[in-house]
Amino acid sequence: MLRYIVRRVLWGIALLFLVSAVIFLIFYVFPNADPAKLRAGRQANPALIEQIREQLGLSDPIWEQFLRYMTQVFTPFDWFGAAEHGGTGPLNFGRSFQSNTPVKEIILERLPATALLVAGAVVFWLLMGLPTGIISAVKRRTLLDRVTMVTSLAFISAPVFWLGLVALYLFASDVGVIHIFPGIGSYLDAETFWAKCWSLFLPWLVLAAATAAIYARYLRSSMIDVMSEDYIRTARAKGVAERNVIMRHGVRSAITPIVTLLGLDIGLLLAGNAILTESVFNIPGIGNEIVIAIRRSDLPVIQGIVLFGAFFIVTFNLIVDIAYAYLDPRVRYQ
Amino acid sequence: MEAHDFPESAEFRGAPGAVGAGAELTEIDPSKIAARSPWQLFWRRFREDKLAMASLVFLVLLVLVAIFAAQIVDLVGAPGPDVEDQNALNQTFATATGPSSAHIFGVDGLGRDVFSRVVYGARVSLVVAFAATFLSTVLGVIAGLLAGYFRGWTDTVVSRLVDVLLAIPYLMLAIGLAAACTFSTGKSGASAGCLGGLIKPGLSVVIFVIAVTSWTYIARIVRGQTLSLREKEFVEAARASGAGHARIIFRELLPNLTAPIIVYASILVPQVILYEAALSFLGVGVVDQPSWGQMISDASGDFNTYWWYMLFPGIALLMTVLAFNLVGDAMQDALNPRAKKT
Amino acid sequence: MRLTRLRLLLPALLLVALVGVLSSCGGSDSGTSSEEESAGIPSEFKAPTAAPDNAQQGGTLVQLNEGDIDYMDPGAAYYQVTYSVTLATQRTLMGWPPDATQPVPDLAADQPEVTDGGKTVTFTIRDGIKFSPPVDREVTSEDVKYAIERSLLPGVPNGYTAAYLGDLEGFKEAEQAVAKNKTTAPDISGIETPDDKTLVLHLTRSSSTPVIQALSLPVSAPVPEEYAKKFDAESPSTYGEHVTFTGPYMVENNSSGELTGYTPGKEIDLVRNPNWDASSDYRPAYLDEIKIQEGFADPTSASQKILSGDSQISGDFPPSKTIVQEVATGNKYSTDQMVAVPSGGNRYIALNNTLPPFGPGKGLTAEQALNVRKAVIAGSDRTALRNTRGGELFGPVATHFIPPLIPGFEEAGGLEGPNLDFVQNPDGDAKLSASYMKKAGFKSGKCEGSICDITMVGDDAPPGKDTATVFQNQLEDMGFNVNFQPVAHDIMYTKFCSVPSNEPQVCPNVGWIKDFNDPQSILQVPFSGDSINPSNNSNWPQLDDPAINKAIDQAVTITDEQQRAETWGKIDDQIMAQAPAVPWVWDNDVLVRSEDVNGVANLFNGEWDLAYTSLTNP
């Protein structure tokens, strides 16, 4: 088991390195706007641009810039001229071209909003999706099941940003048809934790809707598989109450793949896949930040956030893999 | 689109298609029993799902609408999708007006007819859906086949590549790639695009970006299937009779993979449509042609007043994706009727 | 000054105004322009430019901004929105009370003395003005001298010193000195400080009028050399993180002068400056604190927040068209919560005069290219372009470049414009356009051939994107094949439109706001061939007509007001006759406020004036 964990962790680290290289390639090598000019900003003169080019070490060969960046992100050492061009690390992602704020600060500042959005959404989609899946499985092929499954499919088929706009149109307290939930930008206003939660209510529902639907369908099919296994029949034959058969035997087995999925989904969302929801509701999270950064070609921010996101994905993948290996010994020996 | 990555064994078994147990046993006339080909069986099972059939009809109609967009728009009497009708705007505030006799779905902020744009928008959605899915499938099949058949180093390389790609949040990768290809320094703003000018901003960037970030889905499935297929007897027999790798891949493996490839590709299509809509919404999708995602994005600033140009493109997207989903579901059920799903 | 993308146009009943002017046969008298006459803003939206008599002291005001100011360093600040901060926190030699049409002495004790036929300008610095903590000492003339000199440093990216103060004696030598020593502010020999309270400027020619006007810009805000030197030695200068203030308000800072109240991209916190002397200042400064919050990306929801909330005002964004409609016609908000101020600027579509088909080349002569440009202007529906920002009410359709209220406007033709046929019809004249195309050699009346393949780089966000899209359609109707590249606003400038070697054929989202109330500040930088700059160019059409260049150069030195207005008015028409660009609006700034705010707008930068605005119940 230990060897498995060690192997997976080592691969995780290697993966992060490779991912950084790919990202670096995309944003630096693909012909792009001149970073020195971007950093210099408006009204810049050639002398200033040159000085900034020096400062950022942009005249150095690409591989040196890349290794310097890696050093600054992962280590505290002064290799490849780290201290001279941007400072030593670790976790030094450079400074934003736009505001000169350290990227690390930007990320840490915006992370709580995304985290809160994701946390709430997770709660909602589990609350909505799991019971639906179980009930549909138990009452399969009835009208209820069919209606539920098609409705779920509808939620999966609607673009999440559109759902957000429709939800706001119907329910936003300032402009909606029925004034209930706080509208766009209310997160920025909210002072207390509870006010923030309230302002995220609609975003939670919207973000959770499609995922709940997917989980419902997944759990349903998983349950149906499980419920036709022999040991379920045995349990029934032994006289175990139907409710216990479903909950204690059925759901317990059926839920394992859901747990895997949950881990992966959380990782993905924290990495910034909540971009669309954040954009529609104007929530100052990581996804929103990267949209702004990309439009302004703010390379350090873009790179930093994507790398950070990759870190989340790799970590959550790792956790899920290890948990799975713990539960299913066969996996360890692959 | 953000809710989910493609799980490896995504078998969305939503639509119960097979005939249920409990049918009565009746007398059967031997002459009526005829052997049916796998495709006929497939189609028969598919047909039983009424919703999927309705969806199929809808999709065929949609394709026709996309092809004959100009004629349909003329028929209804609406102006073209790019005509900015200044008279349709409120004369004092230059704001958009809603459904009226001249514009049945209203106009957008620039005075362009929404109905017209929705109709033409079908083109973008469908073209991207099919092209990106096709490209993605081709890439995925090649990668999956090679990895699953040759195993060893090839498999390691491909699997690691998949891991790397999956580690990057795909929307960000897509936006970044699209932005990079758009910003390529060309002379006087003419973008040089990516891959030496092959990929230009607009439709081709979107197709390219989507394909590059979604081939992993099919690749994983094909790899899994290939791994199990290569151990089967017919493959061993072919090898024993001296067939080369190419022969085995093309004559033995590929035909057996066709069905699952088609099914999983059809599951990919609706995801691709949503993906394109998301990219357009974020501003890195198709810009020079009307696109449903772009229209919703345009509407997002004033949706509470201009509900019509948020609503109609959204419904169009919803119905199209739903139709594709229902069809994909039914195809999957038709492929595995004995899977213990109902 | 270059426009930010967030200029909002106000509803101006252009046609009513036009009809009114024509039918009354009165016309307005040139020179003294009053708002109602030239800009046609309806009275219910006219912005108050004075505080009410019973204005209350105290309270905290919140200003919502979409983006950030450009620079906190007054030596580099150049955005209208940044001026909101500088007008309230810095005392410049000459200043702008909200209703002023000419600059008024602020740091200067009196109007400056102009002698030597306009070649020497002498200022006396007021007594008793101190820098904010931690600098704490009294301001001297040396501080103004240093402020001007440091703006030549590459680390202080000032956009206008060379243009307006370049006539100072010793300026060229100073520029050469700083090219060698990039971290020490050079000495400009033409700025003399015979004593602590006297500042004498020696000019090489009689350009005192624009020089005095230019000293109303933030560059003349005093900077203590002993304090700022170490920051200016860095590149870029870090003085912007340690600014010291002389106005009624200051950005919150700590004991070493570091600005703790400024988080770029997020918030600016203005508090009272303890060293400010109210008795020597025309500013009343009612508020106790002002918070500027940034990041409000959606103007509709931000405007709604302001309109239905408390103690808030809009900053750098205009309300969207729907909000304007709602306030004007709905009953949710009261109409006086929305006001309009002429921005003193124009917007136009720049046609690159150096590339075919808008310039000579590929078989096209200069004469033919001129006809193509005229054809494009004639064929453009400029009303439709204006409508992308918000309709009749957002400013009159432009017919030349000097905007209303600026001297020279009437002389250049006023609302109707010069006597040139291709600008007569704001809705576009297809026949006239075709006839010009034919004169250019295109027999069909539309553009033909590969010369018609052009690129346009514009804004990727509304309303700029909408304007570009509409124009693209209009060009295509004229036979052009347009490749439209939307990019982020800043990139549009820094990479494409402001770099002459990389500029596309069309830059649709450009414009210019007056730097001060003189036509020179509208025409010189954007249209003189002498101001074309290889890396940060603001003459987007790249117009380089020797006759115009000479006329501009000579007009700079005119000291008589009336003569200036007439001469620059003629130059405007001369420029227009070359059809370098398509002017489409003289826009108005629309501002919104909460009910409990007694907002006062400043005509200089078209924004709420933080030093005059107050709350009804602080």
Least trusted range by pLDDT, from A187-201, C210-224, C249-263, C572-586: A187-201
Residue C97 pLDDT class (50, 70, 90 cuts): very high
Is the Cβ pair C155, A34 closer than 8 Å? no
Average pLDDT over residues C397-412: 94
- A310 in reach of chain B (CB within 8 A): yes
Query: CA C439 → CA A52, C69, C367, C430, C444, distances in Å?
Result: 50, 47, 9, 14, 11
Check pLDDT > 50 for residue B10: no
Q: What is the mean pLDDT of chain B?
A: 79
C119/C202 Cα distance (integer angstroms): 6
Residue B1 pLDDT class (50, 70, 90 cuts): very low
Dihedral, CA of residue B32, residue B36, residue B39 and residue B44, to nearest 10: 20
Average pLDDT over residues B81-87: 86
C161/C186 Cα distance (integer angstroms): 14
Check pLDDT > 90 for residue A149: no
Check pLDDT > 60 for residue A231: yes
- A331 in reach of chain C (CB within 8 A): no
The pLDDT assigned to B18 comes to 33
Residues of B in contact with C299 (CB under 8 A): 301
The pLDDT assigned to B313 comes to 93
Is the Cβ pair C535, A55 closer than 8 Å? no
Query: CA C534 → CA C51, C430, C495, C538, distances in Å?
Result: 45, 36, 12, 10
Using DSSP, state whether C323 is helix, strand or coil.
helix
Check pLDDT > 50 for residue C375: yes
Q: Which residue has the higher pLDDT, C185 or B182?
A: C185
C616/C618 Cα distance (integer angstroms): 6
Residue A226 to chain C, least CA–CA distance (Å): 49
Average pLDDT over residues B219-236: 83
The pLDDT assigned to B184 comes to 52
If one counts every other C-beta atom within 10 angstroms of the C-beta of residue B260, the result is 17
Is the Cβ pair C387, B201 closer than 8 Å? no
Q: Let me know: does C380 contact B80? Beta carbons within 8 Å.
A: no
User: Reduced to 3 DSSP states, what percent helix, strand and coil does chain A have, rounded to the nearest 5?
Assistant: 75, 0, 25
Residues of C in contact with A98 (CB under 8 A): 68, 264-265
A189-198 confidence digits (pLDDT tens): 778 888 888 8
C320/C304 Cα distance (integer angstroms): 10
Query: CA B213 → CA A290, B180, B207, C188, distances in Å?
Result: 18, 15, 10, 59
Closest CA to A7 of A246, A318, A277: A318
Dihedral, CA of residue B142, residue B143, residue B148 and residue B154, to nearest 10: 120
Average pLDDT over residues A182-201: 82
| Backbone φ, ψ for residue B65 (5° rounding) | -60, -45
Question: Which of B15, B181, B340 lies at the smallest CB-CB distance from A224?
Answer: B340
Q: Which residues contact B280 (CB under 8 A, 6 or more apart)?
A: B206, B286, B291, B292, B293, B294, B297
Residues of C in contact with B82 (CB under 8 A): 473
Is the Cβ pair A42, C298 closer than 8 Å? no
The pLDDT assigned to B312 comes to 93
The pLDDT assigned to B28 comes to 64
- A159 in reach of chain B (CB within 8 A): yes
Question: Which of B5, B179, B183 lies at the smallest CB-CB distance from A268?
Answer: B5
Closest CA to C17 of C30, C31, C28, C9: C28
Counting residues of chain A whose pLDDT is more than 90, the rounded percentage is 10
C338-352 confidence digits (pLDDT tens): 999 999 999 999 999
Residues of B in contact with A154 (CB under 8 A): 318, 322
Show which of residues 189-248 on chain B sit within 8 Å of chain A, judged by CB atoms.
Answer: 192, 194
A303/A272 Cα distance (integer angstroms): 13
Chains B and C form CB pairs within 8 A to the count of: 105
The pLDDT assigned to C8 comes to 38
If one counts every other C-beta atom within 10 angstroms of the C-beta of residue C373, the result is 24
What residue of A is the nearest CA neighbor of B306? A169
Give one DSSP letter per residue of C13-39, joined into a string. -HHHHHHHHHHH-----SSS--HHHHT
Task: Please state the ipTM of this predicted complex.
Answer: 0.84
The pLDDT assigned to C331 comes to 82
Question: Which of A26, A176, A217 lies at the smallest CB-CB distance from B180?
Answer: A26
Query: CA A203 → CA A168, A274, A281, C80, C511, distances in Å?
Result: 9, 10, 7, 35, 39
The pLDDT assigned to A50 comes to 84
C114-155 confidence digits (pLDDT tens): 999 889 999 999 999 999 999 999 999 999 999 999 999 988
Two tokens at B93? 């505030």
C307-327 confidence digits (pLDDT tens): 988 999 999 999 988 899 889
Counting residues of chain C whose pLDDT is more than 70, the rounded percentage is 94
Query: Mind listing the domains of chain A with CATH numbers?
Result: 2-74 (no CATH), 103-332 (1.10.3720.10)
Which of A3-12, B2-11, B79-88, C349-358 has maximum average pLDDT? C349-358
Residues of B in contact with A297 (CB under 8 A): 179, 183
Best of B110, B279, B280, B284 to substitute, by most chain C Cβ atoms within 10 angstroms, is B110
C18, exposed or middle or buried, with CB in 10 Å at 0-12, 13-18, 19+?
A: middle
Give one DSSP letter per residue of C119-174, joined into a string. TEEEEEBPTT-BPPTTT--B--HHHHHHHHHHTTSTTS--SSHHHHHTTBTTHHHH
Residue A175 pLDDT class (50, 70, 90 cuts): low
The pLDDT assigned to C13 comes to 39
Is the Cβ pair A41, C305 closer than 8 Å? no
Residue A33 pLDDT class (50, 70, 90 cuts): low
Is the Cβ pair B182, C324 closer than 8 Å? no
Best of A11, A162, A307 to substitute, by most chain B Cβ atoms within 10 angstroms, is A162
* H or E element in which residue A71 lies: helix A62-74
Using DSSP, state whether C592 is helix, strand or coil.
strand
Query: Residues B179, B184, B185, CA angle at the centre, nearest 5°?
Result: 140
Question: Which of A18, A217, A276 lies at the smallest CB-CB distance from B14?
Answer: A217
Show which of residues 25-64 on chain B sit within 8 Å of chain A, judged by CB atoms.
Answer: 51
Q: What is the mean pLDDT of chain C?
A: 89
The pLDDT assigned to C16 comes to 40
Residue B134 pLDDT class (50, 70, 90 cuts): very high
C495-550 confidence digits (pLDDT tens): 889 989 989 999 999 999 999 999 999 999 999 999 998 888 999 999 999 999 99
Using DSSP, state whether C498 is helix, strand or coil.
coil
What residue of A is the nearest CA neighbor of C182? A47
Q: Which residue has the higher pLDDT, A50 or C355?
A: C355
What residue of C is the nearest CA neighbor of A99? C264
Check pLDDT > 80 for residue B36: no
Neighbours, chain A (3 or more CB pairs < 8 A): B, C
Residue C449 to chain A, least CA–CA distance (Å): 30
The pLDDT assigned to A124 comes to 93
Is the Cβ pair A99, C264 closer than 8 Å? yes
If one counts every other C-beta atom within 10 angstroms of the C-beta of residue A187, the result is 23
The pLDDT assigned to B256 comes to 82
B228, exposed or middle or buried, with CB in 10 Å at 0-12, 13-18, 19+?
A: exposed
Is the Cβ pair C301, A37 closer than 8 Å? no
Show which of residues 281-310 on chain A sit within 8 Å of chain C, judged by CB atoms.
Answer: 282, 284, 292, 295-297
